[in-house]
Amino acid sequence: MSRVGEGARAIRGSAPARWVTQTGWPAVSTTARRAGSAIAPAVGPVLGTVSGFGWAVLGVTIVAIVAGAALGWRELLVIGFVLLAALLIAIGFAVGRSAYAVRLDLALTRVVVGERAVGRLAVSNTSARTLLPARIELPVGSAFASFQLPRLAPEAEHDELFGIPTGRRAVIVVGPVRSVRGDPLGLLRRELRWTDPVDLFVHPRTVSLGGSSSGFLRDLEGVESRVLSENDVSFHALREYVPGDDRRYIHWKTSARTGKLMVRQFEETRRSHLAIALSTNRADYADGEAGDEEFELAVSVCGSLAVQALMEEREITVLTPSSNLHVETGRRLLDELSAVEQSETSRETVVQLAKTTGTAVPQASVAFLLFGSGVTPTQIQASSMHIPLGVRVIAIASRPGERMSLRTLGDITLLTVGDLTDLPRALRRANS
> Which pLDDT score, from 0 to 100, does residue 136 have?
87
- What are the pLDDT digits (tens) for 120-176? 999 998 888 888 788 888 999 888 888 888 888 888 999 999 999 999 999 999 989
Would the pTM count as exceeding 0.85? no
- What are the pLDDT digits (tens) for 325-376? 999 999 999 999 999 999 876 677 889 999 999 988 888 888 999 999 999 9
> Which pLDDT score, from 0 to 100, does residue 33 have?
57
Rg (CA), the chain: 36
> Which pLDDT score, from 0 to 100, does residue 312 have?
83
**Residues 369, 321: contact at Cβ < 8 Å?**
no
Q: Report the C-alpha gap between 381 and 387 in whole angstroms.
A: 11
Name the strand (E) or helix (H) holding 111: strand 110-112
**Residues 242, 272: contact at Cβ < 8 Å?**
no
Q: Report the C-alpha gap between 422 and 245 in whole angstroms.
A: 51
Positive or negative, the CA dihedral 397, 401, 406, 407 is negative
**How does 210-236 read in b/e, with b if 16+ C-beta sit within 10 Å?**
eeeebbbbeeeebbbbeeeeeebeeee
> Which pLDDT score, from 0 to 100, does residue 363 have?
84
Which residues contact residue 308 at a Cβ distance below 8 angstroms, ignoring those fewer than 6 apart?
Answer: 208, 209, 214, 216
Name the strand (E) or helix (H) holding 29: helix 25-48
> Which pLDDT score, from 0 to 100, does residue 211 have?
54
Name the strand (E) or helix (H) holding 354: helix 350-360
Which residues contact residue 315 at a Cβ distance below 8 angstroms, ignoring those fewer than 6 apart?
Answer: 271, 272, 273, 274
SS3 for 254?
helix
Going by C-alpha positions, the residue among 136, 115, 138 that lies closest to residue 198 is 138
Going by C-alpha positions, the residue among 400, 346, 396 that lies closest to residue 371 is 396
* DSSP structural state of residue 20: I
**Residues 175, 103: contact at Cβ < 8 Å?**
no
**How does 145-158 read in b/e, with b if 16+ C-beta sit within 10 Å?**
bebebeebeeeeeb
Which residues does the chain have with pLDDT short of 70? 1-48, 96-97, 211-236, 266-271, 345-346, 432
